[in-house]
Structure 1
Amino acid sequence: MIQIVLENCHFVICDKPAGVLSTPSRMGAEDERNCLGIALQKQLGVQIFPVHRLDFEVSGLVMYAKNPEAHRKANAWFENKTVSKTYRALTTAQDFSHIPENVKNSREKFTVSEGQKFEWKSRILRGKRRAFESPEGKDSLTLAQFLGINDKGYLQWDLQPVTGRSHQLRFDLSRHGFPIVGDALYGSKQPWTGKDSIALRAFKIDFSKAPNAADFQLPAIVQIQEV
């Protein structure tokens, strides 16, 4: 069942479950995985336009436009970074054993304290399956805040991708020794709740700085429960 968080005549924002595509894959009909965008378009009976995407394994807020004008406006907001997204991630304690010895990494060990903030910069290059740090990559910036340890012993992080590089948050946590729980692709040895699920959730979109967002009937903030 599609969980619609907000809908008006311009946009629809859904809570995408993990293990579902945001938009059709490049394989088209050959890819048998469920796609939220296709299902939503059938349910609404109108053409929709993806504004942004979430990885297959990631859950949370995904936004689609319901007309070309709204699509152009939303694309401008995201390109100009006047809209921000916040993700919640759960990780295990710092450990670099998942990084092969021949891979360049500072392996800097540090102690994190509750409320501590970080600015992580790198140059990310996307390979066939995963992202890598490379001089030929694109500039990447992630704002991270450590929130403390939850009752299950996992480290909690709030993350804001200032740039929108593929796998950016997953890569940034992994390279600092904190792979996301369940994210075996980036080194996690701890399983999460489902086969196609990792402990990363897009739980907040902030439109408060987006020009004319109110004209498109959008609130300042759309927020759902964290991971």
Structure 2
Amino acid sequence: MAILNYAPSRYPYFDIVYQDENILVLNKPSGLLTVPGKALEHKDSLQLRVQRAFPTATIVHRLDMATSGLIVLALDMDSHRRISKAFELRQTAKSYVARVFGKLSEEQGSIDLPLICDWPNRPKQMVDHERGKKALTHWKRLACDDQESLVELTPVTGRSHQLRVHMLSIGHPILGDRLYAHEQALQAANRLQLHAKTLKFNHPLSDEPMAFECPVPFSFKSSRGLTDIDHSGN
């Protein structure tokens, strides 16, 4: 699926949450690619912007263009290698907040469905029990009404589009999702309602545990009006 009318906001140019000699933690806005696209008009990206100020910065993991929130970059090759290894060994922890279509009847649950690229419709992904790679997501309902639910999503694995496809698979697509939402869910928001809110990992040099949290840039709209989102796990 082509990127239509790619024009990410240039203010702020990038948003640093944390910085030291080895790593940067940033808050990526929705609508900005993590790394440059193939086409010339898709070169603007978080990687390119950061490297103009920090030439040695490298991307360790990615967020979808439409997803906002926390992302870590390494400032030296040893830090890149160590953090990449931590992601590979699942020694990091991430949680997301999303607004999804419809009312989730249960308070929490898990989605254990293998995923594979839907090649004729790439970059879309799909559930495939025979060829798919294992994908596991835990979810917890934070609020709901008859039209939508606010959920905390905790991916155990890190497959492409995992949270988006998993929520679709249980009948609750994420609002504003141009790839997977049906028309009603798509029109309910002007951007993908998915935000990487927390990120935990050990510092690549000191091995000190580090934890970051980033405010959610959208609100839960219930029948009682807008509700500010402050979800620290309570």
What TM-score do you get using the length of structure 2 for normalisation?
Answer: 0.78
Could you tell me how far apart the structure 2 residues matched to 1:78 and 1:20 are?
Answer: 22
Could you tell me how far apart the structure 2 residues matched to 1:215 and 1:143 are?
Answer: 30
Structure 2 portions without partners, runs of 5+: 1-11, 219-234
Could you tell me how far apart the structure 2 residues matched to 1:21 and 1:30 are?
Answer: 13
1:153: how far off?
5.6
TM-superposition CA deviations, 1:165-185 (whole Å, max 9, x none):
000000000110100010132
Q: 1:31 to 1:163 in 2, by over 3 A?
A: farther
In the alignment, which residue of structure 1 is the partner of 2:92? 83
Query: Are 1:55 and 2:68 matched, yes or no?
Result: no
SS in 2 for 1:24: coil
| Matched pairs, number | 199
TM-superposition CA deviations, 1:82-123 (whole Å, max 9, x none):
1011000001215xxxxxxxxxxxxxxx722xxx22121111
1:160: how far off?
1.1
Structure 1 portions without partners, runs of 5+: 95-109
Runs (4+) off by over 6 Å: none
In the alignment, which residue of structure 2 is the partner of 1:176? 170
Aligned partner of 2:213: which letter?
A: Q
Query: Are 1:186 and 2:180 matched, yes or no?
Result: yes
- TM alignment of 1:25-40, pairs within 5 A: 25=37, 27=38, 29-32=39-42, 34-40=44-50
Aligned partners of 1:59 and 1:202 also within 8 Å: yes
Could you tell me how far apart the structure 1 residues matched to 2:24 and 2:149 are?
Answer: 32
Aligned partners of 2:111 and 2:166 also within 8 Å: yes
Relative contact order, CA 8 A, sep 6+: which one is greater? 1
TM-superposition CA deviations, 1:140-159 (whole Å, max 9, x none):
11111111227x96311111
What TM-score do you get using the length of structure 1 for normalisation?
Answer: 0.81
SS in 2 for 1:201: strand
RMSD: 2.1
1:193: how far off?
4.9
- TM alignment of 1:1-227, pairs within 5 A: 1=12, 2-25=14-37, 27=38, 29-32=39-42, 34-44=44-54, 46-93=55-102, 111-112=105-106, 116-127=107-118, 128-134=122-128, 135-149=130-144, 154-188=148-182, 189-190=184-185, 191=187, 193-194=189-190, 197-207=191-201, 210=202, 215=206, 220-226=210-216, 227=218
Q: Percent same amino acid among aligned pairs?
A: 27
In the alignment, which residue of structure 1 is the partner of 2:229? none
Aligned partner of 2:30: which letter?
A: A
Aligned partners of 1:22 and 1:62 also within 8 Å: no
Q: 1:148 to 1:214 in 2, by over 3 A?
A: farther
